[in-house]
Structure 1
Amino acid sequence: MALRLTSSLLKSSNGQALQQLNKFSTSTKTWSRGQKTFATIAGLTVGGAGALLYALESAVSASSDAVHAPKQNWSHKGLISSLDHASIRRGYEVYKQVCAACHSMQYIAYRNLVGVSHTEAEAKAEAEEAQVKDGPNEQGEYFMRPGKLSDYFPSPYPNEEAARAANNGAYPPDLSWIVSARKGGEDYIFALLTGYCDAPAGINLREGQYYNPYFSGGAIGMAQALYNEAMEYSDGTPATASQLAKDVSVFLKWASEPEHDQRKRMLIKAVGIFSLLIGLTYYIKRLKWSSLKSRKIAFYPKNKPE
């Protein structure tokens, strides 16, 4: 009698263990016909959209008459590499002395330079060199005042019409986000600034136009602005044309992505934190599942009557 009771208890406990194992097992899960249809349609839609975007991108690249900018070995292209902040400072000098005569940067303020390329005192001095229109005052009149850290870089022209009138109808684009707005990014900016050459046979340029193979159509309204020794750097760096183009390209890269370095610092922090969490999660998983995975289920049938 005691043997039969023990056998029934073992059978009951074994059945409960099997039921618990079935709960944790995913091999017995079956999808309904509607779920399978939805998953198939979703996969085809995502795959088709990706293929369409790739085809359109390839078609646009193939139809462009501009020469593709070669990729440069930028120091900030590494996974955790930061921007060259000395180059950003020199690039600001290039923009201030050369580019600012025609191009605006209306979304960059002098305060953005603090801690990046200038100290607070240096940024204040840079801002005070600019004259900013302010007002009205108590008499209702507008007036000019020295710039402050909160002011944005001044525009060289009061409006678009004045900019076109001064550049033979061409409108110099704003450079705040130009790197993100052009295919090729800083590679395109560097290639454009250093790619001026004589127009090949068969291409006629109108008055006020110049030939640059990296510009769509080849005819560009901006004359070559960077030459060897076109300016002097405050830190004594040799001001070759390629050095000027490199520095202003890095500066415009920072202007388009001011969070560049912060994003990569967050990547380093995230990798460190998740490495610890993955190790801890693996340990807890082994601890919680060890008893279940190492459990042995034995079945003892009832003894046949003699």
Structure 2
Amino acid sequence: MATLVSRASKQALLRVHSSIIHQKANLSFKNLSKGKKWAVAAIGTLTAGGVGLAVALNTAVLASDLTLHPPKYPWDHAGMLSTLDRASVRRGYQVYKQVCAACHSLEFMYYRNLVGEIMEEDEAKAEAAEIMVVDGPNDQGLMFERPGKLSDKFPNPYPNDEAARAANNGALPPDLTFIVNARHGGENYLFSILTGYCDPPAGVEVREGLHYNPYFPGGSIAMAQALYNEIIEYDDGTPATTSQLAKDVCTFLRWVAEPEHDTRKRMGLKALMIFSVLLAATYYMKRAKWSSLKTRKIAFKPR
């Protein structure tokens, strides 16, 4: 009991002491002239601004922020109800096949995924037949090679990760199936990487075998610039500029990472339409149910 009483008295004394100090500070500030009050306010504002500027400058020069952040590009499919540009997806597949497939794999993609999205079934079968797949065993218990089918995966350019590292100076080319979702910035990051190669600025040294790209973390990337103007010729006659090649392959990789992209947005639009009808019906039922209750009057009969 004595402990509780002493603790309560200490807390009361602390409150009284803090209130006295606060009152003295208020009185001292009130006693200042108008000019001194403006001076104190200006000094406080300048001090807060200086601290904020110092923090901002300190954050701006951190080594982790020397990497450029990719800008946000106006993608055709970025809107809430926008769909993927199918022509761009088809051109992007052509860029992947002729340029990217030499080093990067699409481990979780099958040729059957191309049917109805990028090409017709006959075209997809012919596309799959261009590769040779090890299958078996046959009746003699031996493995054999056969032309690819729609049920086969896209081929891996290397038999294993060690072979991939040996062919790329120790760097392992990442699988591109979900690269758009796996990187911060998505297709904005990929587009910036593909088009952002340049000479290193003064004072920045790049090791032999690496290349400078300000959008890559650290600035040094093992992959050399892969896209150049007119490096391939599009089947539909679109000018194959570097930016067009990068835009198309990024759109293709968005479709690879999210084949249900258009279906998801279509279902979302249908859900909004259904919920709007249900909301109107719910509001009508609410008014119909509560209108009689809200307008009800209570009358008391005198005795």
User: Which range, TM-score by smaller chain?
Assistant: 0.7 to 0.9
Q: Does 1:65 align with 2:57?
A: no
* SS of equivalent to 1:144: strand
Alignment of 1:16-31 (within 5 A): none
Please identify, of 132-141 and 247-256, the stretch whose mean Cα deviation from structure 2 is larger: 132-141
Deviates more, 1:65-74 or 1:139-148: 139-148
1:152-231 matches, within 5 Å, as 152-231=153-232
Runs of at least 5 residues in structure 2 that lack an aligned partner in the other structure: 1-58
The answer to whether structure 1 residue 252 and structure 2 residue 259 are counterparts is no
Task: Kindly provide the amino acid, as one letter, of the partner of residue 82 in structure 1.
Answer: T
Structure with bigger RCO (C-alpha 8 Å, 6+ apart): 1
RMSD: 1.7
- In structure 2, C-alpha distance between the alignment counterparts of 1:111 and 1:145, rounded to whole Å: 17
Q: Do residues 241 (structure 1) and 242 (structure 2) align?
A: yes
In 1, Cα distance between equivalents of 2:283 and 2:276: 11
TM-score when normalising by structure 1: 0.77
Q: Which TM-score applies when normalising by structure 2? A: 0.78
SS at match of 1:223: coil
State the shift of 1:62 in Å.
8.6
Instruction: Give the structure 1 partner of residue 152 of structure 2.
Output: 151
In structure 2, distance between residues paired with 1:175 and 1:111: 18
- SS of the residue corresponding to residue 192 of structure 1 reads helix
What is the rounded CA distance, in whole Å, between the counterparts of 1:160 and 1:123 in structure 2? 28
- Higher alpha-carbon deviation: 290-299 or 183-192: 290-299
What residue is the counterpart of 1:4 in the other structure? none
Shift of 1:63: 3.2
Give CA deviations for 1:134-168 in whole Å, capped at 9, x if unaligned.
11222222221111111111100000000000001
How many residues were matched structurally? 244
> Residues 180, 128 of structure 1: CA spacing in aligned structure 2 closer, same or farther, 3 A cutoff?
same
Residue 248 of structure 1, CA deviation: 0.1
Q: How far 1:289 moved relative to its partner?
A: 2.1
1:301 Cα deviation from its structure 2 partner: 3.9
Distance of 2:279 and 2:267 partners within structure 1: 18
Quote how far apart the aligned CAs of 1:123 are: 1.2
Equivalent position SS for 2:152: coil
Question: Secondary structure in 2 aligned to 1:180?
Answer: helix
Rate the CA distance shift 1:62–1:202 in 2: closer, same or farther, 3 A: closer
Tell me the equivalent position of 2:276.
275
Identity %: 68
Q: Deviations over 1:10-58 (max 9, x none)?
A: xxxxxxxxxxxxxxxxxxxxxxxxxxxxxxxxxxxxxxxxxxxxxxxx9
The equivalent of 1:139 in structure 2 is 140
Q: Which residue of 2 aligns with 1:76?
A: 77
Q: In the TM superposition, what is the alpha-carbon distance from 1:117 to its structure 2 partner?
A: 1.4
Structure 2 CA distance, aligned partners of 1:64 and 1:116? 39
Q: How many Å separate the matches in 2 of 1:229 and 1:127?
A: 26
CA distance in 1, matches of 2:295, 2:133: 76
CA deviations 1:265-290 (Å, max 9, x no partner) are 01111111111111111122222222
CA positional deviation for 1:261 = 0.5
Q: Which residue of 2 aligns with 1:16?
A: none
Inter-partner Cα distance in structure 1 for 2:294 and 2:197: 70
